[in-house]
A and B are shown apart, each in its own frame.
Chain A
Amino acid sequence: MSKRIDVKKTYKLFIGGAFPRTESGRTYEVKNARGEFIANPCLASRKDLKDAVVAARAAHSGWSNATAYNRGQILYRIAEMLEGRRDQFVSEIIELAGVAPKKAQDEVDASIDLLVWYAGWTDKISALDGATNPVAGPYYNFTIPESLGVVGFIAPKKSALLGFVAGIAPIIASGNTVIALASESAPLPAMSLAEVIATSDVPAGVVNILTGKSAELAPWFASHMDIDGLDISGLDAKLVTEIKKSGAQNLKRIHSFKDISSPARILAFMESKTVWHPIGV
């Protein structure tokens, strides 16, 4: 029997629920830890980012108006789908990062557990950060945290799957939509995760994933007037000052985090709404 021809995957972007190639037509080489060629993912341009923002903005109203319980179910669904493709992710991480199988398994398991953990937070976060405020008048006064809008995420270079999940899960848990820039050196687990997300009942445009160079795209994330928040956990330390400066132009909330599981990651991209309601009506 003759040998089968390899069927290799073309890694594309994930924008608005579809998998388009970059409009720029550019790609770059990704190599594994031993320096061997692995794949040619898209080198996204600022125009891909612009398209992703349009998709994310359009998806925000539906996603933020879904019940917290429903968002939790969908996050849990991502965990279920990821569990079903556990072996694929384990072998991808082994191939890409050159780590021992045990370490790769631990990373995938931790990613699945983290999704379940954030799924649980969706309907509890307002109890943690909301309040009934004492006011000097015949009113009930409530403060409720609500989603911010469209949030960008520059993923960390290392732990390409876990670091990525730790970024997008808390952002979308509260009803934000996200545009994530996958790890430049190891973008493949994030792009495979896009396939998981695409089959997990996540509405189109809620999660958008780009692959490319953070030095090229991060300034466009920061200056874009229609991105409300930015998680720069994976940004090169040299670029942080510049990014914070240009984000200040449009009052963007820019944060970076060390903990992978923390309600602070959810609250960082929420804003408080206060409601006055007359007593007795």
Chain B
Amino acid sequence: MKYYGLIDGSDSSLKEFLNKLPGVDAVGADARAAMLATRSIKTTSKRWAIDTAISMVDLTTLEGADTVGKVQALCAKAVRPDPTDLSVPSVGAVCVYNDMVGVARKHLDSIGGAHVPVAAVSTAFPSGRASMKVKIQDTQDAIDAGAGEIDMVIDRGAFLSGNYIEVFNEIVAIKEICGEKAHLKVIFETGELVTYDNVRKASYLAMLAGADFIKTSTGKVAPAATPPVVLVMLEAVRDFYEMAGVRIGVKPAGGIRNTKDAIKQLVLVNETAGPEWLTPSLFRIGASALLNDLLMQRMKMDDGYYASPQYVTID
């Protein structure tokens, strides 16, 4: 059923739905996220968490200075993060700018990485300030080049001025282009949405419009994926599953740089949405530096001594 039968797609029904959402207890969310961050994960659980986190990483390079060589090196690392240890799983996806999608897809296929999807950032990433025509073409280009996942940004200006239906219609239009070919991740840029209430509203708005994943940030704005924001989004996907019977994924991105941060995120997932979400098809971590730290922690667990960054690749 269209929009899960929860709204009819009109401005008024969307507004009514979003305005009925309860406000977020900001102090409670902060406290709960802080409390969950103190969980101690050790030995075999930690080992499992590290491997799970590696398989959830969307290995990302989103720089103006990206080159074909850099993207290819990143693809090689995505397929086999530690070339000296074949038991390390491949990452969840490679995340690049639109024009690098073809390069990444071709290289992944040529090095035995057909199982690693390419995610493209889309709709005038990172600001989202372009005409709808450009945004649609942007998305179409990425899918034609072989992107299996589309990370679109919402128009935060429209959202903040209360023009929810415009944001909603944009997501619906992009979802239509993605169809069955590509997963759609919707980026809110929570650092610009300011309040947890807005994060909750944006989460439901995106899920109703057909997002497969909701994603915190572009990585270009701080604060990004803070634990309380991720908590609010995880609560949203959990409650949405109750309402609509569909599990939507969550992708925190930005500011998750070390193993400790990543494990904190996994604890949040387990305790908020539930263990069903502890899989790369429902939880991803957008990161670049994180992977090296995960690999170094893994080496430490295997070898019994601390590893050096000189033994992992420079990205």
Is B310 an interface position by the 8 A CB rule? yes
* B310 interface neighbour in A53, A226, A246, A249, Cβ under 8 Å: A226
Is B4 an interface position by the 8 A CB rule? no
* B309 interface neighbour in A50, A223, A226, A246, Cβ under 8 Å: A226
Whether A223 and B308, one on each chain, are in contact in the complex, defined by CB atoms closer than 8 angstroms, is no
Whether B305 and A224, one on each chain, are in contact in the complex, defined by CB atoms closer than 8 angstroms, is yes
* A223 interface neighbour in B306, B310, B311, Cβ under 8 Å: B306
User: For residues 241 through 269 of chain A, which have their beta carbon under 8 Å from a beta carbon of chain B?
Assistant: 246, 249-250
Whether B307 and A223, one on each chain, are in contact in the complex, defined by CB atoms closer than 8 angstroms, is no
B contact residues around A121 at 8 Å (CB): none
A contact residues around B311 at 8 Å (CB): 225
B contact residues around A50 at 8 Å (CB): 306
User: For residues 18 through 70 of chain A, which have their beta carbon under 8 Å from a beta carbon of chain B?
Assistant: 46, 50, 53, 57
Chosen A-B contacts, 24 in total, with CB atoms closer than 8 Å, are: A46-B306, A50-B306, A53-B306, A57-B309, A220-B305, A220-B306, A223-B304, A223-B305, A223-B306, A224-B305, A224-B306, A224-B308, A225-B305, A225-B306, A225-B307, A225-B308, A225-B310, A225-B311, A226-B306, A226-B308, A226-B309, A249-B305, A250-B305, A250-B308
B-contact bits for A209-253, CB 8 A (1 contact / 0 none): 000000000001001111000000000000000000010011000
B contact residues around A250 at 8 Å (CB): 305, 308
In terms of DSSP, what is the predominant structure of the interface of chain A?
A: helix
Question: Taking the nearest CB of chain B, how far is it from the CB of A197, in angstroms?
Answer: 25
Complexed CA–CA distance, A224 and B310 (Å) = 12
A contact residues around B304 at 8 Å (CB): 223
Q: How large is the interface on A (under 10, 10 to 19, 20 to 34, 35 or more residues)?
A: 10 to 19
Complexed CA–CA distance, A102 and B304 (Å) = 48
Q: Which 3 A-B pairs have the closest CB atoms?
A: A223-B305, A226-B308, A225-B308
B contact residues around A46 at 8 Å (CB): 306
Q: Which of B305, B307, B309, B311 gathers most chain A CB within 10 Å?
A: B305
New A-B pairs, 13, CB < 8 Å, besides A226-B308, A250-B305: A46-B306, A50-B306, A53-B306, A223-B304, A223-B306, A224-B308, A225-B306, A225-B310, A226-B306, A226-B309, A226-B310, A246-B305, A249-B305
B contact residues around A223 at 8 Å (CB): 304-306
Q: Which residue of B lies closest to A49 (CB)?
A: B306
Question: Taking the nearest CB of chain B, how far is it from the CB of A148, in angstroms?
Answer: 13
A contact residues around B308 at 8 Å (CB): 224-226, 250
A-contact bits for B283-315, CB 8 A (1 contact / 0 none): 000000000000000000000111111110000
Whether B305 and A226, one on each chain, are in contact in the complex, defined by CB atoms closer than 8 angstroms, is no
Complexed CA–CA distance, A220 and B300 (Å) = 12
Question: Taking the nearest CB of chain A, how far is it from the CB of B277, in angstroms?
Answer: 29
A contact residues around B310 at 8 Å (CB): 225-226
